[in-house]
Structure 1
Amino acid sequence: MAEWVPVFRGEELPPGLMRVVTIGDQRILVANVEGTFYAIGAVCTHTEGYLDEGYIEDRTVVCPIHFSRFSLISGEVVEGPAEEPEPTYPVEVRNGIVYVQR
């Protein structure tokens, strides 16, 4: 059954930044793009690089190793060499707290 997990206060992650949260054994990347929060898998599906060490470009995150780009909206690969998408997680902000559903 899906569960909403509070991860941090929204004000702790300004627009243009991202951070990793761990829920159970899952590393999840949460990014703030122009005030909208997105959550996808935090480990590149190509080389297992940590996406939080990359950067945000438009509504994508760029892996720091081989520069694969993943959509923060859908998790899909926008530019390879990665071929497998990232999992995505619903995000809600309630009373200033960011929640991720797992």
Structure 2
Amino acid sequence: MTEQYEKRHEAVALSFDPTDGGAPKVLAKGKGKIAENILEQAKMHDIPIQEDRSLVQLLGQLDLNESIPEELYQAVAEVFAFIYRLDRTYDGVQKKIR
């Protein structure tokens, strides 16, 4: 993880289960050391990190386990699309290595 991520002041982790038909939920959120811990956990578990300070500020206002409001669907969909592209790229690289 780069210093840029480690020095972030606020972080929000989202979870999404496409089988339950619901919206993504706030899994974890925090500022300062808690934000650093969230990012470190993401790094340890190979979870992609995307930086969007405006979105983090909006999501940070939600409670833990709260579903994101419809107003944020588009922005969060872009985050999940980013993650999906990363996963597909990673899978393609892994297949080439084998």
Q: Scaled by the length of structure 2, what TM-score is found?
A: 0.26
Higher helix share: 2
Greater C-alpha Rg:
2
Higher strand share: 1
